[in-house]
Amino acid sequence: MTRRTPDSLRSARWFAPDDLRSFGHRSRILQMGYAPEDWVGKPIIAIVNTWSDINPCHGHFRQRVEDVKRGVLQAGGFPIELPAISLAEAFVKPTTMLYRNMLAMETEELLRSHPVDGAVLMGGCDKTGPGLLMGAMSAGLPAIFVPAGPMLRGNYNGQVLGSGSDAWKLWDERRAGHLSQEQWQGVEAGIARSHGTCMTMGTASTMTAIAEAIGMSLPGASSIPAPDANHVRMSAESGRRIVDMVWNDLTPAKLLSRESFLNGIRIAMAVGCSTNAIVHLVAMSRRAGAHCAVTLDDFDAASRVVPVLANVRPSGDTYLMEDFYYAGGLPGLMSRMPELLHLGAQTVTGRTLGENIAGAAVFNDDVIRPLSNPIYAEGALAVLRGNLAPDGAVIKPSACAPHLQQHTGPALVFDDYPSMKAAVDDPDLDVTPGHILVLRNAGPQGGPGMPEWGMLPIPAKLVKQGVRDMLRLSDARMSGTSYGACILHAAPEAYIGGPLALVRTGDRITVDVPARRIHLEVDEAELARRRAAWTPPPPRFERGYGWMFSRHILQADQGCDFDFLETGFGAPVPEPDI
């Protein structure tokens, strides 16, 4: 491998020339108290930090960034922290998904416009990982991802609680009248008790596992709990590593391949991933270039051969990310399925995935199952198609009641989230456990931003009868910590005239997961009449970011990137030169 020379560093273009512009750069860095010894001839490392005062998942990043900086300094680099939008899943309305591409744009432009040679990406809470990685792939500088790490297990009165999943479950118990106000407050105070991301296999744990699987994080990084001292060491190690990656010019383009993304998909399946993995991985792979792009079909193919091995909620019924880490973490899991991975794929270590996991072991066979004893024999996700979702819809069979996987029933249609919310607790709602609840206008355009509304609540009337799962269909997403027979991401979405817009209450819908089929039992002539009578709804936004979002957002099956951010949209963006 040829090493770069100090003169050839990108940042040298800012600082080295004997001209007035560079005089300005040098005098301004001296203004901050730095001396030439700090930067001359050294890789300048951007640390893109998604810390904020209102993101509990990244609460430790204010300190952890100092560990990254320490690593950069140890290796002879010069660290520069560049804050980026924090995207706290728990607080941002209507949904962080509205802003994933904004973070991606911000990351790309931060890296492009500043005098930096490489980047450490600090994220974890759901959309931050994909946003940072998408931006870094487009910027093209060497980059390494530092995952925030899962929070500790939840605890209430000796009962282990999992982020999201147990909140939904216990909320149903509360709605059924089984949980007092005092107990509910105890749950509130016990379910999230340290910094770090949701410790179920939600979107955060899924996406950080994927970041590691595609080779963008250090081996084992994604499984380390946020408060663990090993997380501190991993952060410093990532800082040391990026400096060498700059010298070796190990850019995302050099290490990412289609095999990397296929590894990402297979690991997603084996961990019992969040359904959001599909949207993000498709978008990320397309940023890496057409030769890397994966599609829904790649997910469905993987789901038929990769079993769920990680016994982590919500696909598993017992354990959480902390247990997964103690059991060997992601390298342990990978060591259980080498024949299902492309071991030759390159990674940030400068070595292959296979080399990274050599010697990895599993310390608890119940948490990380062997292939011979999976928790679910087929993969975590299935892609359904049919006249209701010609471009695909997604279900997580490992998290839904088996009897609902083949079912025909009448639709109960809600045109939007508020009308669904208003109706669902009505004791007179005309609904049976055999109904299929349909929520539309909740997709990328309709939501807007494709909110996590896809796990529609079971109507209160049925909850009281003991019903805990029923079929639900929408063009929305759902939280990775959700569960149940929810068919999501129906594309194209209703808001732009997709077939979901044509369903009426009482129409019969057939769902057949083994056959990968979803079908509205209404004849084509009638559907054509309904289509002709359909009028497009008014635009969601008339100004601002949302206006741009509405014009450029792609559908779920294409990853919901902005069309103009996709790699092949136009000529590559030139390096800033003046």
- Closer Cβ to ligand FES, 207 or 463, answer by number: 207
Angle between helices 203-213 and 258-270 in degrees, nearest 10: 140
> 125 is in the binding site of which of Mg ion, ligand FES, none (Cβ under 5 to 8 A by kind)?
ligand FES
Backbone angles phi, psi at 325, to 5 degrees: -65, -50
CB 109: neighbour CB atoms within 10 A? 14
Nearer to ligand FES, 189 or 358 (CB): 189
Token representation of residue 429: 């709602």
Pick what 90 binds: Mg ion, ligand FES, none; C-beta below 5 to 8 Å, kind-dependent: ligand FES
Q: How far is the CB of 417 from ligand FES (least distance, A)?
A: 20
Q: Which does 479 bind (CB under 5 to 8 A by kind): Mg ion, ligand FES, none?
A: Mg ion
Q: What residues are paired with 156 via a beta bridge?
A: 159
State the nearest-atom distance from the C-beta of 478 to Mg ion, in Å. 9
57 makes contact, choosing from ligand FES, Mg ion, none, with CB < 5 to 8 Å by partner type, with ligand FES
11/50 with CB nearer ligand FES: 50
Q: Which is nearer to ligand FES, 67 or 126 (CB)?
A: 126
Question: How far is C-alpha 69 from the chain's CA centre?
Answer: 26
Give the nearer residue to Mg ion in terms of CB position, either 202 or 225. Answer: 202
Burial of residue 169 (CB within 10 Å: 0-12, 13-18, 19+) is: middle
How near is the Cβ of 316 to ligand FES at its closest, in Å?
Answer: 18
Using the minimum distance from each CB to ligand FES, give the nearer residue, 59 or 329.
Answer: 59
- 3-state SS of 148-185 is CCECCCEEECCEEECCCHHHHHHHHHHHCCCCCHHHHH
496 makes contact, choosing from ligand FES, Mg ion, none, with CB < 5 to 8 Å by partner type, with: none
Least distance CB 271 / ligand FES (angstroms): 15
Q: Which does 327 bind (CB under 5 to 8 A by kind): Mg ion, ligand FES, none?
A: none
**DSSP secondary structure letters along 237-284:** HHHHHHHHHHHTT--HHHH--HHHHHHHHHHHHHTT--THHHHHHHHH
Which residues bind to Mg ion, rule: CB under 5 A? 126, 202-203, 479
Residues in the site for ligand FES, rule: CB under 6 A?
57, 89-90, 125-126, 163, 197-198, 202, 204
The nearest distance, CB 312 to ligand FES, in angstroms, is 14
Min separation Cβ 205 and ligand FES, Å: 8
The dihedral region occupied by 157, where left means phi > 0, alpha psi between -120 and 50, and beta the remainder, is left
Contacted by 197, from Mg ion, ligand FES, none: CB < 5 to 8 Å by type:
ligand FES
Shortest distance, position 197 Cβ to ligand FES, whole Å:
4
Nearer to Mg ion, 126 or 507 (CB): 126
CA pair distance 312, 310, nearest whole angstrom: 5
CA 561 to each of CA 106, 176, 195, 449, 524: distance values in angstroms, whole numbers, following the listed order: 14, 40, 29, 11, 32
Query: 3-state SS of the chain: helix, strand, coil percent to 5?
Result: 40, 15, 45
Q: What's at 481, amino acid-wise?
A: T
- Least distance from ligand FES to the Cβ atom of residue 213, Å: 18
**What's the token pair of residue 348?**
């940030």
* Choice between 284 and 294, CB closer to ligand FES: 284
Identify the H or E element spanning 80: strand 78-83
